[in-house]
Structure formats: structure tokens, C-alpha cells
Amino acid sequence: MNARQADLGRATAADRSAEPFDLERIRADFPILRQQVHGKPLVYLDNAASSQMPQPVIDRLVRYQTTQHANIHRGVHLLSELATSEYEAARCTLQGFLNAAQAREVIFTSGTTDAINLVMHGHGRKFIRSGDEIILTTMEHHANIVPWQMLAEETGATIRVVPLLDTGELCLDAYAALFNARTRFVGVTHVSNALGSINPVKAMIATAHAHGVPVLVDGAQAVPHMPVDVQDLDCDFYVFSGHKLCGPTGIGVLYGKAALLEAMQPFKGGGDMILSVSFGGTVYNTIPHKFEAGTPPIAAAIGLGAAVDYLGTIGLPAIARHEHALLQQATAQLGALPGVRLVGTARRKAAVLSFVLDGVHPHDVGTLLDQEGIAVRTGHHCAQPLMTRLKLPATVRASFAFYNSPAEVDALVAGVRAVQKVFA
């Protein structure tokens, strides 16, 4: 880690938005977008599930595999040292991306789910006891519900849930009222994967901290769409996945404040997470290594660093502007169609548009759109408690990335009209 690398990471993420946003040039970076699906040009609108990888990230992975690959933190030979320094440089890039105070606060995990489970095992099992309370929200992804339910079952803790307004926003008065002397933890998503609502996490964190309660923010759907500054948010933990950020699968990040990470129990034991081992006992390594047992996904971490660098060449503010325009266009055009109901109308939204059609099951909509080359997600989006609150079994979800075009929004709207004609 060094300050210059961290500065570079920061600059890449946020500060280059003055460069013109050239959609055609950006699209040319994504080889997969040139494909046809069912004989039609691919219109990829399932970015909230997984976004696509640009050529510079693919090239970086190839360069690593063809010239730099070795195991890390182990060998004294040149390749091992090279792989180690590239892996640690990726950590610094991620530190800059999040504006974390220190690189050791960035733990590589296999993804958001893995990161939340790590916090549950490492922090939750150590500090949460019978009768304690954990606050979650109605709109959490299952990844930020089930681990806490497992903990509650094991310890006798209770889960309290922040209710949802009909707009798809959280009821903040009810959130504030949930705190009491037994509250030990808050888990909240930054952006809803099913509705796109952007939660006021900075204010929610301040409320929790006023009660001395740490907060985990699930940033899986936020980091691809907006600059995130963990020091400004003052969050205790922040988690996300590489594959939604134009990076590889199998890699994600747990950011944690150093003091909290140091106090946590390791979750997985094995090589690299130790300083010394004897049958009399083991001394754990320092953070971040304490939480990275075994050979980590080295190539994927380096690929994620390259993805963050790539996003920096476009600039997250420019990305946010372009995606917001796509969302506004889609909201206006789809919202104007008779028989279409938009689900989730929060005032602040990221590039996710959920909707249902009168008399047509979302899965049928998804299947027919696919025949037109249009990829959307349908279902409960791993947010079943939210769907129960909305009294819906499923929605159709179009989720945009910065490489999507206004013409693709038009294609989606035309596709929906065609579905309606089939079912008329």
C-alpha cells in the first residue's frame, strides 16, 4: 500500500468526468455487446445481476495469466513476488475507489454474500447475544437477511425490520424508533436491487451511531452507479461484488474500519491467515490477511482492480448522469403505456426499473423479450420479503449500465408493447 497508489485509485473513480461521454467508443470496449441473440442484436438490460466485462479488463486477465501468475505471499521467486505486488496493488486501487483510510481495511472476499457472512461470523457471533436486536430493512437482498437469521437462531437474538413506504422508500421515522438498549447491529442496502431506491445511508448511519450501533451497508447495487466514500458515509462495514462492477465473478470486497476488523474473529482457518501455528495454538495474521485464508482469487482481484481503473477512465459522475437519463427515458416511456405498472417510485433511484404488466406473468414477459434479444430479469430478485410487502409474486426488472443506449430503451418499450399484443 502507498499513498500515491491510493490517490490514483481515487482519481480514477471520481475525477475524470470532465471527459466527454462517448457512448459509441464505450460500447466498442464490450465485445459481448456485438453478439446476436435469437438472431437479434443483444440488448443487455440485466446489469444488476451481472454487468459485462470490457476488453481492457479481459486483456488484464490475459496478461496476468500469461505472464504474471504464481501463488502469492509465499514464494521468494520473481513470479511470486510479481503476483503478490499486483494483488496488493489491486487492494490499493480498491482502497482508493472507496476512499478507505487504509489498504488493510479492504478484504478480498468471493462476493457480497461471502462478505456479509464473514461479518456475521466474525463480528456477529462474537458480539451479538441472546435478547440483542439486529435491524434490517424490508428491501434487503436475501444475502443480507439469511445470515442474520442464522445468527438469530443460534444466539437467540431478534431481527427488527424497517418498514417500507408505498413509494419504495424506507420509513425513516420507524427506523429511528426501532433503536433501544438491546440494538447491536444494523444492516441496510445502499441501493435496492429490486426497486432501485437509493437509501439515505449516511443519515441512517448517523442515527445508528448516536446509539453506539455499527452499520453494514450492502453496496452491491451502489458501487457500479455512484461514487462511494466510506469515510464520508462513516459506515463500519461496506460490501460489494466484482461481477456487478464490470469485473470477474468470484471476487468481492469487505471494507471494514480497522478497529472493528481487528476485533473480529477469523471465519475461515488455513494458510496465510496465520503468523505461527503449533499444536499448542495458533497466532493469527494481521488484517487484511487474517480474513483471507488459503490461496485467494488472485486473478479475479487483479481483474477487479482493472475494472475499477476502467470505470475511472469514464468517471462515476458521468456514468451516473448517463444512467439517470436512461432511467428517466424508460420511466417516462414505459410509465405511459396502458397496462404497465411501475414498481418503486422513490425520489432517488439508481438505474433499475421494475414493472408488471396487467394479465401477464413476469416470466412470460421475460421469455418473450428474450426472443427479441432483450435480456431482463424476472422473479422475486432474491428479495422475497420485499415482494410480500408489495403483494407481488414477481416483477420484470430492467437494469441499466453506462454502456446501454437510448435506442436500447426504445427496444425494451417496443418489446413490452409486442408482449402486450400477444396477450391482448
- Interface residue list for ligand C6P (CB under 6 A): 48-49, 111-113, 141, 143, 189, 193, 218, 220-221, 241, 377, 381-382
Report phi then psi at 363, rounded to 5.
-65, -35
- Rounded to whole angstroms, the Cα distance separating 420 from 396 reads 14
179 vs 240 by CB, closer to ligand C6P: 240
Q: Considering beta carbons, is residue 32 or 275 the nearer one to ligand C6P?
A: 32
| Crossing angle of helices 3-14 and 78-98, rounded to 10° | 50
Out of 92, 235, 246, 382, the active site residue is 382
d(CA 5, CA 90): 9
Nearest to 319 by CA among 89, 51, 95: 51
Closest CB 48 distance from ligand C6P, rounded Å: 5
In angstroms, what is the minimal distance from the CB of 44 to ligand C6P?
13
In the complex with ligand C6P, the residue whose CB is nearer, 113 or 207, is 113
In the complex with ligand C6P, which residue's Cβ is closer, 89 or 383? 383
CA distance 70 to 305: 18
* Beta carbons within 8 Å of 13's beta carbon, 6+ residues apart: 96, 97, 227, 308, 311, 312, 315, 316
Sign for the CA dihedral angle at 382, 388, 390, 396 comes to positive
> Can you tell me the distance from the alpha carbon of 10 to that of 372, in angstroms, rounded to the nearest whole number?
40
Q: Are 189 and 197 in contact (CB under 8 A)?
A: no
Residue whose CB is less far from ligand C6P, 113 or 138: 113
CB 215 within 8 A of CB 164: no
Least Cβ distance, residue 243 to ligand C6P (angstroms):
6
Question: Which region holds residue 238: left if phi is over 0, alpha if psi is between -120 and 50, else beta?
Answer: beta
Minimum CB separation of residue 19 from ligand C6P in Å reads 29
Is 382 considered catalytic here?
A: yes
Q: How far apart are CA 401 and CA 47, in angstroms?
A: 6
Query: Between 48 and 215, whose beta carbon lies closer to ligand C6P?
Result: 48
Cα dihedral sign, 317-198-407-50: positive
Minimum distance of ligand C6P from residue 16's CB (angstroms): 27
Q: At closest approach, how far in Å is the CB of 34 from ligand C6P?
A: 24
H/E element, 316:
helix 316-335
Residue among 112 and 207 whose Cβ is closer to ligand C6P? 112
Name the strand (E) or helix (H) holding 159. strand 158-162
Query: Which residues are catalytically annotated?
Result: 382
